[in-house]
């Protein structure tokens, strides 16, 4: 069995204990760890509502409801993967570039040790720092982005380059992504112009608006994602505003007319057989939450990500990590 496991909720009530993701042990180690959850409590990149700095604590709290068996994917992810909650990156509120450095320096040794990272945002600007850390180890990555926005805009407010609307533009410029292997799902809402969607396609991304997405079954979307990503190493970036604000009200830039929580989770679970080396769940602003609706959904998204990684890993053989490292090296 994996070295690090969640607390057993049949032995101690879920509402007890210090809040970590899925009741995992809070450990700062890279030994015998397959996946590390890292809080990225930063929201200086937000262009509208702020408060995502409190996202990680809220998602961790809601995540105590998670149980060990993912019945939809037919797997006990924590029996496959040794998982920890690594704590939070030491971000500096108000200082985006210094915070990027702090996030990248936190994640890089984890990636270097072959650990899959799951970032809990934080506004979406943090994705650039995550990608810097992971691409330094793995090379340019395929992006699987669930979001109602492309976050590919060039700049805001007279040339300011670092916001939650620009991380993937910067990532492209820095050579951290493989756009031809990348897919954006769920685009919708009023735009600045038709060029907003077109530029993503011009960059080489496969882009599905919410209208296009909902016209397809989860199975078909899973096939599309697999076909697009292929055998590339991939990063899942899940902006909780992908969902309709009726299902995820606590977010910084809500866009109405989106998928339900059920629909979105079905699409996410269909993304099997993708080699995810990292992922995140971002843009949860607990001050706007009701009954932790958004936090519970974000926790579930994180759980599905862990389950997808476990599913992929178990297909390769349960003790594949050292072998995989030998075969692929650190590119
Ligand atoms: Mn968004
Ligand atoms: Mn976003």
**What average pLDDT does this structure show over 76-103?**
98
- What is the mean predicted confidence (pLDDT) over 126-135? 98
Q: Provide the whole-model pTM.
A: 0.95
Per-residue pLDDT tens over the stretch 268-288: 999 999 999 999 999 999 999
Distance 169 CA to ligand 2 centre (A): 12
Ligand nearest to the CA of 148: 1
Neighbours of 243 (CB within 10 A): 30
203 token code pair = 């960059």
Q: Above 50 in pLDDT, residue 81? A: yes
Measured in angstroms, how far is the CA atom of residue 315 from the centroid of ligand 1? 32
Query: Could you tell me the CA-to-CA distances from 223 to 204, 255, 288, 311, 330 in Å, in that order?
Result: 18, 26, 35, 16, 28
Q: State the pLDDT confidence band at 53, using cuts at 50, 70 and 90.
A: very high
For position 302, what pLDDT does the model report?
99
Burial 21-60 (b: 16+ CB within 10 A, else e): bbbbeebeebeebbbbbbbbbbbbbbbebebbbbbbbbbb
pLDDT greater than 70 at residue 325: no
pLDDT exceeds 60 at position 327: no
Ligand 2 centroid – CA 10 distance (Å): 37
Looking at all shown ligands, the one closest to residue 49's CA atom is 1
Ligand 1 centroid from CA 149, angstroms = 4
pLDDT over 90 (residue 49): yes
> Considering every ligand atom, which ligand is closest to the CA of 243?
1
Average pLDDT over residues 2-28: 97
- Phi, psi values for residue 178, rounded to 5°: -110, 90
- Distance (angstroms) between ligand 1 centre and the Cα of 87 equals 25
* Domain regions of the chain by residue span: 21-326
pLDDT band at 111 (very low <50, low <70, confident <90, very high): very high
Secondary structure of 161-172 as H, E, C letters = CCCCCCHHHHHH
* Distance (Å) from CA 240 to ligand 1 centroid: 7
Q: What is the pLDDT of residue 84?
A: 98
Decide if 68 contacts 76 (C-beta within 8 A).
yes
Closest listed residue to residue 64, CA positions, set 85, 35, 91, 42? 85
How many Å apart are CA 51 and CA 287, to the nearest integer?
7
Give residue 317's pLDDT band: very low, low, confident or very high (50, 70, 90): low
Q: With CA atoms as reference, report the closest residue to 257 among 171, 166, 178, 148.
A: 148
CB 118, CB 35: distance < 8 Å: yes
Ligand closest to 163 (CA) is 2
Question: Of 3.40.800.10, 3.40.50.300, 3.40.50.11900, 3.30.70.370, which CATH number belongs to 21-326?
Answer: 3.40.800.10
Ligand 2 center to 201 CA (angstroms): 17
- Per residue in 296-315, pLDDT (tens digit) is 999 999 999 999 999 999 98
Q: What is the pLDDT of residue 290?
A: 96
269 Cα to the center of ligand 1, angstroms = 20
Q: Above 50 in pLDDT, residue 330? A: no
Secondary structure class of 173 (helix, strand, coil): helix
Q: How close is the Cα of 177 to the center of ligand 1, in Å? A: 19
Task: Work out the percent of the chain whose per-residue pLDDT is above 90.
Answer: 95
Q: Tell me, in angstroms, the distance from the centre of ligand 1 to residue 259's CA.
A: 13
CA–centroid distance, residue 251 to ligand 2 (Å): 10
For the segment 143-188, what is each residue's pLDDT rounded down to a tens digit?
999 999 999 999 999 999 999 999 999 999 999 999 999 999 999 9
Q: Closest ligand to 187 CA?
A: 1
Nearest-ligand number for the alpha carbon of 248: 1
Contact 88, 8 (CB under 8 A): no
The pLDDT of residue 328: 38
CA of 253 to the centre of ligand 1 (A): 6
């Amino acid at each position: 069995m994996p070295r690090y496991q969640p607390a057993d909720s049949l032995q101690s009530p879920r509402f007890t204990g210090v809040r970590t993701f899925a009741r995992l042990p809070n450990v700062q180690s890279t030994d015998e760890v397959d996946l590390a959850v890292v809080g990225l409590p930063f929201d200086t990149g937000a262009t509208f509502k702020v408060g995502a700095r409190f996202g990680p604590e809220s998602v961790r709290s809601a995540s105590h409801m998670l149980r060990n068996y993912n019945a939809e994917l037919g797997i006990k992810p924590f029996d496959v993967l040794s998982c920890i909650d690594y704590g939070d990156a030491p971000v500096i509120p108000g200082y985006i570039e210094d915070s990027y450095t702090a996030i990248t320096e936190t994640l890089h040794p984890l990636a270097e040790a072959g650990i899959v990272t799951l970032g809990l945002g934080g506004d979406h600007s943090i994705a650039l720092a995550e990608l810097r850390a992971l691409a330094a180890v793995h090379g340019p990555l395929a992006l699987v982005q669930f979001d109602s926005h492309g976050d590919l805009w060039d700049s805001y407010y007279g040339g300011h380059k670092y916001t939650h609307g620009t991380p993937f533009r910067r990532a492209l410029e820095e050579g951290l992504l493989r756009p031809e292997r990348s897919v954006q799902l769920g685009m919708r809402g009023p735009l600045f112009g038709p060029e907003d969607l077109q530029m993503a396609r011009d960059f080489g991304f496969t882009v599905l608006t919410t209208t296009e997405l909902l016209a397809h079954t989860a199975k078909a979307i899973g096939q599309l994602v697999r076909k697009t990503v292929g055998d590339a190493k991939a990063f899942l970036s899940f902006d909780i505003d992908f969902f309709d604000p009726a299902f995820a009200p606590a977010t910084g830039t809500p866009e109405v007319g989106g998928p339900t929580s059920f629909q979105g989770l079905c699409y996410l679970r269909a993304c099997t057989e993708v080699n995810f080396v990292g992922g995140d769940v971002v843009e949860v602003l607990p001050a706007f939450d009701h009954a932790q609706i958004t936090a519970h959904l974000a926790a579930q998204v994180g759980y599905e990500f862990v389950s997808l990684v476990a599913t992929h890993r178990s297909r390769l053989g349960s003790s594949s990590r050292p072998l995989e490292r030998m075969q692929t090296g650190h590119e």
